[in-house]
């Protein structure tokens, strides 16, 4: 087990106890001083009958993590800033569950609170390269958050670029890998590449980056579980399932035609954004985890485990 770091004076709050938030917490509790860690959750989280929320509450209480209820969907930037002002570091793991503008509001609150160090919800693609106008409004907001952080000097920030969650690549609604029909659809072309990382690896790596000495500040840190083309992905699915894969290419022109017919389809916009290729991937050999010799789960290993779990 890793050695506990002596950072008693640094109070850390994780925003969100979802898939990623819980992974960050599980890794942080082994590495920071007892009582230094808090988590912000939606009101009613701890009393919900939902199995995930109930199990997570039990786990958080076992760890001794302070649980703070707060409704991020309300436009209460001042109240959030007041709450966050008690903490040295904020690690945001909320995603966009509270809707568009969530990450901008949270970032404004963090800066207003005078937080020393901020890990924003940027666990995704390289928004600096993607820029604005990708067709995905969420990406535009993420780009604006980066500009906001860079426009000030009071709060240190660390962005952890992870690519897509590995599981999302196999999410039926995303429409890239359909395991029911053993179909793989290439976004853009078969040579278009994508970087993916599991929440478990993101939790481990975010903790390592937080504890890195000398301290990482005002920097984008790239991590990756795997970087592969859609052609390589099709080969992985074929190898792991042992079945021939049906291949279908969705060109950017075709995806834009589909968006014109259904402009409010969020998944279509995600597909079109990833079909651009640019900013959606980086070489694994240049990542933080590769340089540190930290092993991560690649797409083949994830799929093998996923299919094994489904069979058991």
Domain containing 77 equals: 12-163+197-225+279-296
Total domains present in the chain? 1
pLDDT of residue 89: 98
Quick: pLDDT tens for 194-231: 999 999 999 999 999 999 999 999 999 999 999 999 99
- For residue 69, being part of any structural domain is answered with yes
Instruction: Give the mean model confidence (pLDDT) for residues 272-287.
Output: 95
- For residue 137, being part of any structural domain is answered with yes
pLDDT interval class at 136 (50, 70, 90): confident
- For residue 245, being part of any structural domain is answered with no
Q: What is the 3-state secondary structure (H, E, C) of the chain?
A: CCCCCCCCCCCEEEECCCHHHHHHHHHHCCCCCCCCEEEEECCCCCCCCCHHHHHHHHHHHHHCCEEEECCCCCCCHHHHHHHHCCCCEEEECCCCCCCCCHHHHHHHHHHHHCCCEEECCCCCCCHHHHCCCCCCHHHHHHHHHHHHHHCCCCCEEEEEECCEEHHHHCCCCCCCEECCCCEEEEECCCCCEEEEECHHHHHHHHHHHHHCCCCCCCEEEECCCEEEEHHHHHHHHHHHHCCCCEEEEECHHHHHHHHHHCCCCHHHHHHHHHHCCCCCCCCHHHCHHHHHCCCCCCHHHHHHHHHHHHHC
> How many percent of the chain have pLDDT more than 90?
86
pLDDT of residue 5: 52
- For residue 46, being part of any structural domain is answered with yes
Quick: pLDDT tens for 53-87: 999 999 999 999 999 999 998 868 999 999 999 99
- For residue 189, being part of any structural domain is answered with no
Instruction: Give the mean model confidence (pLDDT) for residues 35-51.
Output: 96
- For residue 101, being part of any structural domain is answered with yes
pLDDT interval class at 9 (50, 70, 90): low
pLDDT of residue 266: 87
Q: How would you class 290 by CB atoms within 10 Å of its CB: exposed for 0-12, middle for 13-18, buried for 19 or more?
A: middle
Q: What is the CATH number of the domain that holds 155?
A: 3.40.50.720
pLDDT interval class at 3 (50, 70, 90): very low
> How many percent of the chain have pLDDT more than 70?
96
Instruction: Give the mean model confidence (pLDDT) for residues 273-301.
Output: 96
- For residue 29, being part of any structural domain is answered with yes
pLDDT at 109 over 80: yes
Strands 183-187 and 177-178: antiparallel
- For residue 192, being part of any structural domain is answered with no
């Amino acid at each position: 087990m890793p050695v506990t770091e002596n950072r008693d004076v640094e109070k850390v709050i994780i925003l969100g106890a979802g898939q990623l938030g819980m992974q960050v917490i599980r890794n942080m509790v082994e590495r920071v001083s007892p009582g230094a860690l808090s988590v912000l959750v939606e009101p009613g989280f701890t009393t919900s009958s939902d199995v995930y929320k109930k199990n997570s509450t039990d786990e958080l209480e076992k760890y001794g993590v302070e649980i703070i209820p707060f409704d991020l969907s309300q436009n209460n930037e001042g109240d959030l800033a007041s709450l966050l002002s008690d903490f040295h570091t904020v690690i945001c793991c909320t995603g966009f569950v509270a809707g568009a503008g969530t990450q901008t509001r949270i970032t404004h609150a963090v800066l207003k609170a005078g937080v020393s160090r901020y890990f924003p919800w940027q666990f995704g693609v390289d928004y600096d390269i993607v820029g604005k106008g990708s067709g995905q409004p969420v990406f535009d907001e993420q780009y604006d958050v980066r500009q906001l952080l860079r426009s000030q000097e009071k709060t240190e920030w660390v962005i952890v670029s992870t690519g897509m969650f590995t599981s999302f690549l196999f999410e039926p609604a995303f429409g890239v890998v359909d395991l029911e029909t053993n179909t793989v659809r290439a976004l853009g072309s078969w040579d278009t590449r994508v970087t993916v990382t599991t929440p478990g690896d993101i939790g481990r790596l975010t903790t390592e980056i937080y504890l890195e000495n000398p301290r990482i500040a005002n920097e984008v840190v790239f991590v990756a579980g795997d970087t592969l083309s859609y052609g390589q992905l099709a080969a992985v699915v074929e190898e792991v399932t042992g079945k021939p894969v049906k291949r279908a290419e969705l060109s950017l022109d075709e995806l834009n035609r589909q968006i014109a017919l259904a402009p409010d389809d969020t998944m279509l916009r995600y597909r079109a954004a990833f079909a651009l290729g640019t900013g959606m991937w980086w070489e694994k050999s240049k990542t933080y985890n590769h340089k540190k010799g930290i092993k991560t789960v690649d797409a083949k290993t994830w799929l093998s485990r996923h299919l094994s779990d489904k069979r058991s």
